[in-house]
Every structure is written in C-alpha cells, then in structure tokens.
Structure 1
Amino acid sequence: MRLSILDQAPITKGNTAAAALKNAEELAVLGDELGYHRMWMAEHHATNTFASSAPEVTAAHLAAITKKIRIGTGGVMLMHYSPLKLAEVFKTLSAFSPERIDFGVGRAPGGDNYSIYALSEGRQPMVNNMYEKFDIALQLINDEVPEEGLYNKTIATPSQVILPEAWLLGSTGNSAIQAGLRGVGYSFAQFFNGEMSKEILDAYKRNFHPSAFMEKPQINVSYMVTTAVTKEEAEFEAKPQDIWRLQFMKGRIEAVLTPEDARDYPLTEMDHMIIKENRKIHLVGAVNEIATLLQEEQAHYGFDEAMICSIPHSQEKRLDVYRLLAQGLF
C-alpha cells in the first residue's frame, strides 16, 4: 500500500500562519526522505485555523525543494477559478517538475459565503457547472481545443509539457462515477464524514475509461490519524483534535489546543459521546494498531493508497506520526 500526505497547514494554538507553512515545507522534505508517494495541499479560505489558502503556490515551492515525492493540490477549488488559469498553472508546475505534479480538484468552496463572493469579485458564483469546468481544464492541459466558445479561440501555455496526474476529490460518492468516466484518479475524504463504501469505490472502477491522464483506475483515501508508540500517548496527542472537531460541529472554529490544555478541557457527558462517535473519522492508537487497521481497510475496500492527515499540536509530534507509519507500513 502506498502512503501519502494531506496537509492543511494547520495553525495550532500559540503558533503563526507563517510557521504553519514552514511546517508544511519540513513535512514535505521528510515525506520525500521516507518514501511517501505524494503530498497534497488543501485549499481553505477565511480561516485562522489553516494557512493553506493558495495550494498551487505552496505546491510550486514544495516541488522545488523535494526530489521524488509527487506534489499537488487536494484540492484546488474549481468554483473560484477559470479553467484556462488552472490549465496554465498546472502545466507550468509540470514543466518545472515533470512526472511529479498532481492536479487535484474539488467542488466545494473551501470557505464561507463572504469569501466565496469576494473570490468571485461580487458576482453570483457558478456552482452547477463544476464537471464542465473540469472537462475544459483537462482539455486545455492536454493541448486540446474545447468546444466551449469562450475557450476555443485560445491555448493554455506552456504547451507540450508532460501531463500532471488529474484527480477528482469527493466525500459522499457523487464524484466517483464522474471521475471514472473522465479517466482520472478518485480521492475519497474518509475523514470528512466516514461514509466510504465498497459500492462507491467499485462504481468508480466500473466506470473508469483510460485517458491521457491515467491509464488505469487509482483510488486514494484520506484518513485523519493520530498515532504514537503506545496507545496512551496517542490518546494524549489526539484529544486536542477531538475537541477541535467537537467545537467545529458546534459552529466554533478554534486553534488546536495543546495536549495539556485538552486534558483539562471541561467536557459534558454529551461531548464525550460525540467525541466517541467522531472516532470513526479520527483513527487513534499505537502505530501497530493503526498500520493493521489501514491494511485491513485496504483489503476490504480495494483502494490503492492511504493519504494521511495528522494534526497533533506540536510539529515534532506530527512528524513522528509520519515516521512511525512509514516504519509500520513500508
């Protein structure tokens, strides 16, 4: 099983956005050294919790400081950008780092209504043409002329570069068939709602048609993971993320606490029940337990790659998660 990294550039309590981006840089270098297959940056707007608002810019930097690991977006949010601009950006990235760039796209806004309208300069956002925009971007990346009149009189440069891999993100299964029909990879965000099923992944495989971007179906699944040598240490480091998720569900978005603050955080009986239920989307345990669980999930669901998102409070503990998983699974 391949292992990969999903990073949101989290800004934990007491830290800065600039430090979060430097942490992404450090994580990319470590992932490259450890043999992780790819690293994607997410896109988040209007938040002081994540610093990854321009994943394509961060990807350019990360690709420049690494050697083997694939670098991309998980994902760049289609609704905010012209297909022509997306094609130009990712062709440029691929020209600089051939065979190492991933064009991963999502249909969500990645922000609130205020940021959506600000990104569209006050115009009514177009939210019902995502797959059409994706198709046009793929055609332009592949040096094709789209039928759409707005785009059929121009080209996306640079031309004749090695194609990036193309991926469509999803968390409910709605994009699975669409990804298959387009011959691109399918990335399922299990850490969003925990609703992965064999039916969703099999539907993608069944509808897959090879394309210039991908010869055979590829599936990666994103998991939120907190692990350590012992279960006790993992639980200690995981509680801040548990509380963050709890607060998020209540409409409050706050920085991830220190483990010490989380240990002393007042929780109601209902809070404990919610945290327990949320553990279906937050894998916590000793590294041997997590490694076994990921292998069992892969055997059952039939995906190719586990993409790990991990947000302990400290950068060192976060790096330890990726070191331990590499030791347990490589």
Structure 2
Amino acid sequence: MVTLSILDQVPIPSGSDAYKTLEQTRELARTAEALGYYRYWFAEHHSTKGLASTSPEIMMSHIAASTSYIKVGSGGVLLPQYSPFKVAENFRQLEALHPGRVDLGVGRSPGGTAKTRLALTDGINKSLNEFPRQLEELSHYLTDSMPRGHEFSGIKAAPQTDSPPSLWLLGMGENSAKKAAELGIGYVFGHFIKPDRGKNALQTYYRQFRPTYYSLSPSAIIALFVVCGETDEEAEELALSQDLWLLRVEKGLDSRVPSIDEAKQHRFTVTEEERIKDNRKRMVIGSKETVKKKIDELAEHYQTEEFMVLTNVHDYDERRKSYERLANIYL
C-alpha cells in the first residue's frame, strides 16, 4: 500500500509573485489533507527569485494552523548553518503547538553559494564536516539525552513536550543512510536529485538500522518529481515547464517556473536536450496508468511504501490536478 506525501519548494511561476504563490500553497495543503496525503513538508532555499520557502519552520506553523491533522515538516532544515540547540527549540515549540503532527527533516546542504552560506552563518566559516556531530547533538536535545561530560550537558530544549518531533535525515547516498541507521531515525532519499545511488543507500539503511527511542524499525521515504496528466501526452506537455526550469536552476539562472509557451519557444541545444533526458530519470511523468506503473516499480526497487512528491509545473490549477490524479490512484 503506497503512502503519499508532498515536498513543497513553493515554486513561484513566471508572471506571479510570492504573495499569490504562498496563498496558493495554503490552498494546496488543505487540498492535500482532504485528498489523504500523509505529510506536507517544506524545503529551505535562500537568495532565489523562484522558491518562496526560505523558512520551513514558519511555513509549517502557518500550514498546521490552516489544516487539522496532516503532518507538517521540513525537507529540510540546513543544519550545518545553524545551532542544533536552536533547531531543537524551534521544533519543540512547533510540537507543543501541534502535538503529534511535526516532522523534523534535516540535510547537510550548504544552502546555496559560498557567499550565501556565509550570510546565513553571520560570516562564520563553519565546516560541513561538523554535520554528523550536529545531528547527534540535535537528537540528544530532542530526547533530553545529552551525555554527561558534554559541554552542554544539563541544558534542556524548551518547551518540554510529551514526545519529540520525529527526526528524519535527508540524503543522497550510503553515508547519509549509514548515519540515519546508526541514530535509528527516518531516512528520506532524494531520488529527485540523484536517483542512481538510491538502491544501495536504502539497502544500507535497512541493513544497518538500530532501533532507538525514535523507532523500532526503519522508515524510508523516496522523494521524486511527479507530473500526472489525463493522458501521457498531456503530462509530457505539462512537464515542459519543469524541464526548462531545472535547466535554468542548474545554470544558476532565473529560478521562477517558466510557462509551457516559454518552454516551447526555447531553442534547446544538443547539450540541453541530453541534460533533459538525464533529468527525466529524476521524474515520473504520464497518465494515471503510466504513473502507477512507474511508482509501483520504484516501490519494489526501493522496498519502501512512502513517496514524497514534487510537482513544479507553471500553472497552479494543473499542479493541483496532478496531485489530485495521483491521490486518485492510491488514496
């Protein structure tokens, strides 16, 4: 039985703005809850024109207050830039406001260019190599289990809650899978970024998982792009804007989602066409029948049942319909 969740980067379409896009995000989250989606997570991106989710915590609070029971989460907080203690308190605050509905997903990403990262860290050149230590400390703060002898032993993340938010590690390979398994936390594999390393990563996670306070058994989610149309042909046309958007994002160009007309008018080079073909490995595109076949195959490939989907097409109504069609398949 496939479980569906949404990872929202809050993409701003060309011709729109953050105000309208954020209002549509709230509408989409309410729709997702009504359709039976299990989680609604927000990404964290900085210094970009086209992605309006810069603070997952604020987005989570807003959406949790606008819905009733769907889980809200971060996909993910860029932990290397921040204090584990502050992150723990932010998410305990959310857990106290919305008990049992809060997921804390964290990642190792620098969050943008080197200059952007320095702005996030207030000019302090923090090493990404500190991430494993930060993740362990974050887990200790969330569970009040900081070891004696640690320099911050005795400090408690507030407010106190009956249980901590669930903790998830976002990753793209075996190293992150090993760390998630060691800590006994959930693991989210970014198929929508680097699909080729997924099977080995998931096998590593399942094989090395150690039961802890968080969970007695492994929990894995696969995040991937999905465009579901009425027909394969309609889905392919809708995906044109996502194809061009990804090309531009990879080149550091305008990150707003272009329209289908813009994509049709773009003259793709041979190199760009090859890149689009390669990027399609990160996506599932097609009619309900085609999408179901491909997701079922991925569920078997990864030996998991939960998929977190992103649909970054230009038209909001078509984006919503894609999520509705996907829900009609499984939910």
User: Given the two structures, how large is their TM-score scaled by the length of structure 2?
Assistant: 0.96
Deviation of residue 148 (structure 1)? 6.5
Deviation of residue 271 (structure 1)? 2.3
SS at match of 2:218: coil
For 2:144 and 2:195, how far apart are their aligned partners in 1?
38
Deviation sequence 1:265-314 (CA, Å, 0-9, x none): 11223322221222111221112101111011101220130110001101
- Tell me the equivalent position of 2:94: 93
Equivalent pairs counted in the alignment come to 330
- Could you tell me whether the CA contact under 8 Å between 1:46 and 1:112 is conserved in 2? no
- Could you tell me whether the CA contact under 8 Å between 2:95 and 2:161 is conserved in 1? no
- Could you tell me whether the CA contact under 8 Å between 1:143 and 1:160 is conserved in 2? no
Higher mean C-alpha deviation, range 296-305 or range 47-56 = 296-305
- Flag structure 2 segments of 5+ consecutive residues without an equivalent: none
Deviation sequence 1:99-143 (CA, Å, 0-9, x none): 111010001022221221111111112321111111111111112
For 2:223 and 2:263, how far apart are their aligned partners in 1?
25
Q: Percent identity of the aligned residues?
A: 36
Deviation of residue 47 (structure 1)? 0.6
SS at match of 1:283: strand
- RMSD of aligned alpha carbons: 1.5
- Could you tell me whether the CA contact under 8 Å between 1:218 and 1:304 is conserved in 2? no
Cα–Cα, structure 1 residues 250 and 121, in superposed 2: closer, same or farther, change >3 Å? closer
For 1:266 and 1:183, how far apart are their aligned partners in 2?
48
For 1:112 and 1:20, how far apart are their aligned partners in 2?
25
For 1:14 and 1:278, how far apart are their aligned partners in 2?
25
Kindly provide the amino acid, as one letter, of the partner of residue 282 in structure 1.
M
For 1:49 and 1:147, how far apart are their aligned partners in 2?
45
- Flag structure 1 segments of 5+ consecutive residues without an equivalent: none
- Tell me the equivalent position of 2:5: 4
User: Does residue 1:236 correspond to 2:237, yes or no?
Assistant: yes
For 2:243 and 2:19, how far apart are their aligned partners in 1?
24
After the TM superposition, which residues 8-23 of structure 1 pair with which residues of structure 2 at under 5 Å, given as runs?
8-23=9-24
- Tell me the equivalent position of 1:134: 135
- Tell me the equivalent position of 2:27: 26
- Tell me the equivalent position of 1:164: 165
Deviation of residue 175 (structure 1)? 0.3
SS at match of 2:128: coil
For 1:253 and 1:211, how far apart are their aligned partners in 2?
43
For 2:14 and 2:232, how far apart are their aligned partners in 1?
24
Cα–Cα, structure 1 residues 47 and 301, in superposed 2: closer, same or farther, change >3 Å? same
User: Does residue 1:66 correspond to 2:67, yes or no?
Assistant: yes
SS at match of 2:222: strand
User: Does residue 1:314 correspond to 2:315, yes or no?
Assistant: yes
For 2:148 and 2:72, how far apart are their aligned partners in 1?
30
